Homo-oligomer: A and B are copies of this chain.
Amino acid sequence: MTRTDTSRSKSPLSDQEYTPVVPSRGTLIPLSAHDVTLDGGFWGERQVVNANATLQHCLTWMEQLGWIGNFDRVAKGETGPPAGREFADSEIYKLLEALAWESTRSGGGWADEAFQALSARVVAAQQPDGYLNTRFGGPNQQPRYTDLEWGHELYCAGHLLQAAVARARDVPDDPLVAAAIRLADHICDVFGQDGRHSVCGHPEVELALVELARATGNPRYLHQATLFVQRRGRGTLDGGETPAEYFQDDVAVRDAKVLRGHAVRALYLSAGAVDVAVENGDDDLLNAVRDQWENTVAARTYLTGGMGSRHEGESFGDDFELPSDRAYSETCAGVASVMLSWRLLLAGGESKYADLIERTLFNVVATSPDSDGTSFFYVNPLQRNQAGIEAALDEPSPRASSSQRAPWFEVSCCPTNVARTLASLGGYIATKDIDGLQIHQYINGHIETLLPDGERIELTMETGYPFAGEVAVTFKSESTREWTLSLRVPSWARGRATVDDGSGARLIDGDVATVRRAFSTGMTVRLSLPIEPRFTYPDPRIDALRDCVAVERGPLVLCAESIDLPGGHHVRDLAVYSGGGFNSKGSDLTTVSGATGCGGAEGWPYASHTEDGVRLVGQLEVPLSPYFGWGERGPSEMRVWLPIARP
């Protein structure tokens, strides 16, 4: 896409776009989530499940575990150890953010009532000076800001600010908005230029402060966010045995070459750094984050888009350290990666960011919740050698359990993160600029928006994507002038995608299919993406994947599950012939020719002859299904990358 920097004047609170990120400058302008309606299809269905099941599910669990009650106790001046972990407050805030988005999306109703009731309990716990945290600063509690490394106070505050910003863009005079402003002012007082020169162990407040600055027009919050980003990487945090890299406190953001350390921290920080860079016109900082994104995607990202190779420190690994079985690929890192890529997409307009968003949404964010929206994966490995056991239904599960989705976790950041993402998903579908509309993600639904000059666009989008490759965009409005409709062509589709605006199908080599004209009501533009299954080979530098192949189909990564294998075979014993073709059964089942083996000598796993190795003993068609749905049918072994069988 063209990259032109459009500077836009800051919006006052009463004139906000209602969408997750509202930069005052950048190449692309986000659409308001009001402007995009999802109607069924892959994402529309998930948004409804989120509204009807997940939000109440989160509310029920956090009430039951006393995490919400922590606020009531602080409001009453009661003391005692709070329920849950040191970041429990943030889960209530992320749920509030999700409720704010859902309330606006669905036009009020239960979500609005739930938001108001829950936020009232939060606001009641705020201290007169604006401080708000249920674990620190009260009688018999540890004093405020005495454990910046692990206390998560500013992290929690950041999530409150994000919830308030989501609300403010639709309901500016909400009490939570006022509370957030008081909290942000307090943070600026304590940590400002003349205050304490430190940062929070877990980044998050940075992007939240910028968003609050955008929402309120108050530059003080942007300045504070700038300070926090500048201070990071100066070794101000003392993690003991935990290396500074874990907190991204090892290298200044603008000097770093690649994302490293705790993945969610690194991605939230990067998103905040982009926000700071965009608002300050700091192209050096922006380009530094772009380079880090490039290097991270090139060598530290799973095929699913997942990030975080290590359970240890929930962290990125070294370059090309991408084991399948030990992949951490936290759901929250997927959410955070979408947040970062979206900001970079708005800033510069490059399709590669939307490509990664699509990959991550379909293969990480959509993988976490089950189809009922009431149990979740926290980590998203690409292989499970044991089927594992059912997760506990009546108590929180350990966070890194991964054989089965669990209703709730002791550290339960992922369910509420999925909830806020799905509730605000309309904001990530398309953008606009003076020249027209850019559609980045393919959904079933409706878009109605005004270009900057007032040109009105209304259209519907119909597709069976990702299970079918046809996307039909039909106009419901008459153009008063020519403009450009841009349709993203995913990297795997380039050279094979076609677009047809009625004048015949045209092959698209580049990363967007564009149609420039005045569009009339009833006119349809058809995009055709080749979604047949395809083999994908790993970079030879990835030790964990050597001599393996994966199968992708459109934007979906496929996997083999033991539950689909005949004869009690284990996924560990599978191999596939990568030279052959595929058979498809129905819309979402693919098979590939393969073999089963029985591998290895007994007693010692290293031998002097390769013939002590795997012996292929049976031919079979290996059934493959979308990774996002794995584990839905009970405990199962699973693997994405399959060893290549030699005929």
Asked if A599 and B541 make an inter-chain contact with CB atoms under 8 angstroms apart, the answer reads yes
Q: Nearest-CB distance from A436 to chain B (Å)? A: 27
Does A326 have its Cβ within 8 Å of any Cβ on chain B? yes
Given the known interface contacts A241-B399, A311-B310, A312-B310, the answer about A600 and B534 at a Cβ–Cβ threshold of 8 Å is no
Asked if A607 and B537 make an inter-chain contact with CB atoms under 8 angstroms apart, the answer reads yes
Complex Cα distance, B397 from A241, in Å, reads 10
Asked if B602 and A298 make an inter-chain contact with CB atoms under 8 angstroms apart, the answer reads yes
Does A361 have its Cβ within 8 Å of any Cβ on chain B? no
Among A39-47, A126-134, A427-435, A610-618, the stretch in contact with B: A610-618
| Contact string against B for A residues 386-424, beta-carbon threshold 8 Å, 1 for contact and 0 otherwise | 100000000000110000000000110000000000000
A613 to chain B: which residues have CB within 8 Å? 537-540
Among A7-15, A363-371, A543-551, A580-588, the stretch in contact with B: A543-551
Q: Pick from A540, A599, A610 the residue with the most CB of B within 10 Å.
A: A540
Given the known interface contacts A321-B325, A537-B608, A538-B606, the answer about A243 and B599 at a Cβ–Cβ threshold of 8 Å is no
Q: Nearest-CB distance from A85 to chain B (Å)? A: 9
Asked if B325 and A605 make an inter-chain contact with CB atoms under 8 angstroms apart, the answer reads no
Complex Cα distance, B311 from A535, in Å, reads 33
Q: Which residue of B lies closest to A319 (CB)?
A: B385
Asked if B321 and A537 make an inter-chain contact with CB atoms under 8 angstroms apart, the answer reads no
Given the known interface contacts A398-B241, A399-B241, A544-B543, the answer about A318 and B385 at a Cβ–Cβ threshold of 8 Å is yes
Asked if A540 and B491 make an inter-chain contact with CB atoms under 8 angstroms apart, the answer reads no
The prevalent SS among residues of A at the interface is loop
Q: Nearest-CB distance from A551 to chain B (Å)? A: 11
Does A190 have its Cβ within 8 Å of any Cβ on chain B? no
| Contact string against B for A residues 630-643, beta-carbon threshold 8 Å, 1 for contact and 0 otherwise | 00000000000001
A643 to chain B: which residues have CB within 8 Å? 540, 546
Q: Nearest-CB distance from A251 to chain B (Å)? A: 15
Complex Cα distance, B386 from A84, in Å, reads 40
Task: Sample 16 A-B pairs with CB under 8 A, ordered by A number.
Answer: A301-B604, A301-B605, A321-B325, A326-B326, A383-B543, A491-B604, A536-B606, A537-B608, A537-B609, A537-B610, A538-B605, A539-B606, A539-B607, A540-B599, A540-B643, A541-B599
Across chains A and B, which 4 residue pairs bring their CB atoms closest together, nearest first?
A540-B614, A539-B605, A539-B600, A540-B599
Known pairs A310-B312, A318-B386. 18 more at Cβ < 8 A? A241-B410, A241-B411, A298-B603, A310-B326, A320-B605, A322-B605, A323-B323, A323-B326, A326-B326, A383-B543, A536-B606, A538-B606, A539-B599, A540-B597, A543-B545, A543-B548, A546-B548, A550-B606
